[in-house]
A and B are shown apart, each in its own frame.
Chain A
Amino acid sequence: MDQTAAGSGADLTLAHLVKDFGSFTAVDDLSLVIPSGSFFALLGPSGCGKTTTLRMVAGLERPTSGQILIGGRDVTGTRAHQRPVNTVFQSYALFPHLTVLENVAFGLKRTKAADPLSKAGDALDLVELRHLAERRPTQLSGGQQQRVALARAIVNNPAVLLLDEPLGALDLKLRRQMQVELKRIQTEVGLTFVHVTHDQEEAMTMADTVAVMNEGRIEQMGSPAELYELPRTAFVANFLGQSNLLRGTVLDAGKLTIGVDIGGTRVRVPSPRAVSHSGTVLVGVRPEKLHLVPDDEDVPAGTNVVGPGTIVDVSFTGVSTQYLVEVPGHGTMSVFVQNILGGVGARVGDQVRLAWAIKHTFGLDGADDLAAGAVDLDGEA
């Protein structure tokens, strides 16, 4: 391990990284820079190449071509045990023949660090498990094993900490708790965290920067809010939260907005928020940005309106109500209405129009697949 590269984290640079498995390209010319001290999430469905990318950074997989640099030093040709990188494995991979404390001290002993056991004890304090130090991993619950795996990686003070779906095996409540905990620990130790997950909520909750991966490439990268408010591909729009996407044709392209004809209705999209300014485009809007407007009510200026349509489904979830509205010519659109007034406002069968602020509209390339990246309700791709 190179002690100079370790410390409070280091930049991780991937340059034109490619990994082929036979004729299948798992990672396809991937380039990105993850700044030191950041919490970075690689988000994508299973099989998108995110875990392969992580394993290449860890040194457990050799790239077909491209470079990996940690803190400016090329580590592409080095072996896993020579890299200042530690991994929290998906299944934790704790050593069953060692106690919790010995597990955590394993890396320190290999690097001949001074006083490995007391440092390991401190790391167990960080994850609040000091009292279980003498137990065997099999005697711990899933959540506790997860913390031990985290302590075992963090204690080495790696330049980059890799987390491979670390919360995948935990139940929902524990997962929420660990999300908060992971974020706290990252802030406390200040290491560079690279987190691989298929759970968009997990990625958005914890990461400063999220890269959405699909078929070995990065679709889009940015802060969670950026990605959510302004997706640049249909895949991102559907994979990260939900979107209503409507296919249309550009009528006029102005300086501030472009006008798009969608099934006979003219809507406007702010020019900077549109990927494409001519031909066929997709017009998108997030469900919570939509308002239900009764047929006879006026809409304010600066608003796009479609409809009227018929409400075909109402699901009340407490915090909000989801309406599915069948709009002739546009298909089914989804609307989230926050529960501010109390109770459900509209009923199945009601005729409504859908309105939203022009500034919330985004425009995508018309060649994108409308359903790309749409996921099942349980969040598993």
Chain B
Amino acid sequence: MSVLAGLGGAAVSAVAPTRTARSGASLLLAPGMAYLGLFFVVPVVALLATSLYVPVPGGDVGQFQPAFEWRNYVEAVATYWPQMVRSFGYALIATVAALLIGYPMAYVIAVRARGRAFLQGLLLVLVIAPFFTSFILRTIAWKQILADESLVVSVMRAVSLLPPDGRLTATSFAVVSGLTYNFLPFMTLPIYASLERLDPRLMEAGADLYANGPTTFWRVTLPLSMPGVVSGTLLTFIPASGDYVNSVLLGNNTTTMIGQVIDSRFFKVSDYPTAAALSVILMVLILGLVSAYVRRAGTEDLL
């Protein structure tokens, strides 16, 4: 206040503190608003506009002109719905797998290791450690892990989980594994945060009221960690459904995901309107799915 008053000199008087506070708040908001305006609002508007463009008659490849061609959407859906469905399918399976792997991890770190700060810190670092390496490099590493000559494949062949000529690379299994692995920390950390806040006396109260371990988990621990589960699944599902790195590196042409299609429409064949229309559809579908999910999860009063 005194700094502002000094800057404003006599013009800023003590009679209008609310106005000063308000202008101070908008001043603080300005960088964020400018950033969002420039890098979010403008691109979205541009995307919407591009999705309705038509090719310039007789023009070169990649030349388009403004129009209102809504049939771009119809065509995009008609052509690429299998990739769209596959993307959501893969994302769903990866999310469920990440939940099944991430929840026990989060539980061990938050509940079992409670009170042992060093162990907790160490385990958390292990969860976050993969982020120190690039996303692409880690996915390429998975290619090695799942390669035909790899230990994983030979063991699986030996125990007849795979036929003798079976392979893992270039399959849906590899793509979903990659997605699961890459987004696992996004699942684990929010659940950890939820469980960390959980009062251990509530679990004791469950045991005191005749609930055995599994029942206490099902009736007390899990419902109270739902905010973490909801944010974890969203943080996994949303990027996983738009991801294309995993399917490019670990899949084949039968595992193409919608992100890959958008990428190739845009950069390879310069079909900007279709790429933009697919992006808009993806965005709208994710928004719809997410809001339906959050409403059904019914965690509003816990969030």
Chain A residues within CB distance 8 Å of chain B:
1, 58-60, 79-81, 85-87, 89, 91, 93-97, 106-107, 110-111, 136, 152, 156
If A95-B202, A96-B224, A106-B219 touch, whether A136 touches B210 (CB-CB below 8 Å) is no
CB distance from A326 to the nearest CB of B (A): 49
24 interchain pairs, CB-CB under 8 A: A59-B207, A60-B204, A60-B207, A60-B208, A79-B207, A80-B208, A81-B210, A81-B212, A86-B209, A89-B201, A89-B204, A89-B205, A93-B202, A95-B202, A95-B205, A95-B220, A97-B223, A97-B224, A97-B302, A106-B209, A106-B211, A106-B219, A107-B210, A156-B210
Is B215 located at the chain interface by the 8 A CB criterion? yes
How far apart are B122's CB and chain A's nearest CB, in angstroms? 23
Let me know if B199 is at the binding interface, CB within 8 A.
yes
Q: Which residues of A contact B165 (CB under 8 A)?
A: none
Shortest Cβ distance from residue A232 to the other chain B in the assembled complex, whole angstroms: 35
B60 at the interface (CB under 8 A from A): no
Q: Tell me whether B302 and A93 are in contact (CB under 8 A).
A: no
Which 9 pairs between the two chains have the least Cβ-Cβ distance?
A107-B209, A80-B207, A110-B210, A93-B205, A93-B201, A97-B223, A87-B208, A81-B207, A81-B210
Within 8 A of A (CB), among B187-234: 199, 201-202, 204-212, 215-216, 219-220, 223-224, 226
Tell me the bound Cα distance from A136 to B210 in angstroms. 22
Across the interface, name the chain A residue whose C-beta is closest to B301.
A136
Given contacts A91-B199, A93-B199, contact A110 B205 (CB under 8 A): no
Inter-chain contacts of A110 with B (CB < 8 A) = 209-211, 215
Residues of A within 8 A of B212 (CB): 79, 81
Whole-angstrom distance between the alpha carbons of A93 and B216 in the complex?
Answer: 14
List the B side residues contacting A89 at CB < 8 Å. Answer: 201, 204-205, 208
**B224 CB contacts on chain A under 8 angstroms:** 95-97
* Residue from A60, A85, A97, A106 whose CB has the most chain B CB atoms within 10 Å: A97
Interface of A, secondary structure class, is loop
For residue B211, which residue of chain A has the nearest CB?
A: A110
Q: Closest Cβ of chain B: how far from A242's Cβ, in Å?
A: 35
A356–B259 alpha-carbon span in the complex (Å): 94
A216 → B minimal CB distance (Å): 22
Question: Most chain-A Cβ atoms within 10 A of its Cβ — which of B204, B210, B211?
Answer: B210
The interface centre, meaning the residue of A85, A94, A106 with most chain B CB atoms within 10 A of its CB, is: A106
- Determine the distance from Cα of A156 to Cα of B208 in the docked complex, in whole angstroms: 11
Given A97-B224, A97-B302, A136-B301, are A91 and B201 neighbors across the interface (CB < 8 Å)? yes
Distance in Å: Cβ of A371 to nearest Cβ of chain B: 35
Q: Which residues of B contact A59 (CB under 8 A)?
A: 207-208
Q: How far is the CA of A94 from the CA of B204 in the complex (A)?
A: 11
Q: Cβ of B208: which chain A residues have Cβ within 8 Å of it?
A: 58-60, 80-81, 85-87, 89
- In the bound complex, CA of A58 to CA of B216 (Å): 16
| Docked-complex contact B210 and A1, CB < 8 angstroms | yes
**Bound-complex Cα distance A267 to B276 (A):** 103
Residues A80 and B219 in contact, CB atoms below 8 Å apart: no
Enumerate chain A residues within 8 angstroms of B201, measured Cβ to Cβ: 89, 91, 93
Task: Please give the distance in Å from B167's CB to the nearest CB on chain A.
Answer: 46
In the bound complex, CA of A24 to CA of B190 (Å)? 37
C-alpha gap A362/B126 in the complex (Å): 66
Which residues of the other chain, A, contact B209 by a CB distance below 8 angstroms? 81, 86, 106-107, 110, 152, 156
Which residues of chain B have C-beta atoms less than 8 A from A106's C-beta? Answer: 206, 209, 211, 219
Q: Chain A residues near B216 (CB, 8 Å)?
A: 81
Alpha-carbon gap, A1 to B301, bound state (A): 33
Q: Is the CB of A81 within 8 A of B211?
A: yes
Nearest A-chain residue to B209, judged by Cβ? A107
Residues of A within 8 A of B219 (CB): 106
* Bound Cα distance A152, B219 (Å): 16
What 1/0 mask marks residues of chain B from 279 to 303 whose CB sits below 8 Å from any chain A CB? 0000000000000000000000110
Which residues from chain B contact A152 at a C-beta distance below 8 Å?
Answer: 209
Residue of A nearest to B223 (CB): A97
Which single residue of chain A is at the shortest CB-CB distance from B224? A97
Q: Which residue of A lies closest to B212 (CB)?
A: A81
Complex Cα gap A17–B51 (Å)? 77
B223/A80 in contact, CB under 8 A: no
Q: Measured between alpha carbons, how far is A152 from B202 in the docked complex, in Å?
A: 13
- A177–B103 Cα distance when bound, in Å, is 45
A284 and B241 CA atoms in complex are apart in Å by 80
Given contacts A60-B207, A80-B208, A110-B209, 16 further A-B contacts (CB under 8 A): A59-B208, A60-B204, A60-B208, A79-B207, A81-B207, A81-B208, A81-B210, A81-B211, A86-B209, A89-B208, A95-B202, A97-B223, A97-B224, A97-B302, A152-B209, A156-B209
In B30-79, the 8 Å CB interface with A consists of: none
Closest to A152 in B: B209
A79 CA to B201 CA, complexed, in Å: 16
A96 vs B224: C-alpha distance in the bound complex, in angstroms?
8
Chain B residue nearest to A97 (CB atoms) is: B223
